[in-house]
Structure 1
Amino acid sequence: MNIFRTLLWIQGCYTLLTAIWPLVDIHSFMLATGYKTDIWLIKTVGALLIPVALTMLSFLFIDTDQRPVFILGSLTSAAFISIDFYYALNDVISDIYLGDGIIQIIFLITWLALAKPLLLKRSNK
């Protein structure tokens, strides 16, 4: 399995699992991530991340231009990096989110490493 497909599989599944978790069991989610008052917001974010994850995973099964999933994956990671570090370091959310931020940095670095081959592959067609 090449790096592109591996990244899609790992980030897609990670995003899907973290999206579904608060929808299925908000209590265990809050045990791991800290108490929250706006449960509706947590569930809304989870619901919105499901199509993001499924879109990423769909690129494992379709042969098409890969640039849209590069944009989706890398910018989703960048958004979570910003949120996780800003709010965890300002004591708004639990420090457990720093771990997610590190995982998102790994995803983003991998997307950026793939950027040039993805762009070159498309321009050579």
Structure 2
Amino acid sequence: MQKKYKIFPAIQALYYFVTAVWPFIHLESFLAVTGDKTDIWLVKTVSVLLLPYCLLLAYLTFNSKRNLIIVLSIMLCCFVLIGIDFYYHFTGVIKWTYVIDGVLQILFLLYWVYYIINSKE
């Protein structure tokens, strides 16, 4: 992976990390931004599930080897989060702030598509 590719995975890892730990550090502010939730256990479960992706993104940031399986895993994560964000927002379940996350996930996904198209073995 060339140096120009390293900043984007680092930004995505940081974003996922902040998203993952925020409900544990200050649940009240998380709920103020994202909306009230009835199942706090589910908020924390989804948050914890983002942590392995942080590790995968850190690997891509600090390792010069191209790893297609990790990239495809990250892309799948982006795709699933896009679906969740938009589906549940437009069905009235979650707040508009999730649309912002959905847009960010689209940008992340587009980056990884670009990465795959422009990477060399």
Q: TM-score higher than 0.5 here?
A: yes
Shift in Å, 1:54: 1.9
Please give the alpha-carbon distance, in whole angstroms, between the structure 1 residues aligned to 2:61 and 2:107: 20
Query: 2: distance between equivalents of 1:5 and 1:69?
Result: 14
CA distance in 2, matches of 1:50, 1:74: 15
In structure 1, how many angstroms separate the alpha carbons of the residues matched to 2:107 and 2:63?
25
Retained in 1: the 8 A contact 2:6–2:62? Answer: no
Contact 1:16–1:54 (8 Å) recurs in 2: no
Q: Report the Cα offset of residue 58 of structure 1.
A: 2.2
Partner of 1:68: 69
Structure 1's unaligned 5+ residue stretches are none
Matching residue of 1:34 = 35
Q: Percent identity?
A: 36
Give the letter aligned to residue 100 of structure 2: G
Q: Structure 2-normalised TM-score?
A: 0.91
Separation (CA, whole Å) in 1 of partners of 2:63 and 2:91: 41
**Pairs aligned (count):** 119
Shift of 1:60: 2.0
Alignment-mate amino acid for residue 93 of structure 2: V
Residue 23 of structure 1: how far off its partner (Å): 1.5
Q: Which runs of 4+ in 1 moved over 6 A?
A: none
Structure 2: which 5+ residue stretches go unaligned?
A: none
For the pair 1:57 / 2:54, whether they are aligned, the reply is no
RMSD: 1.3
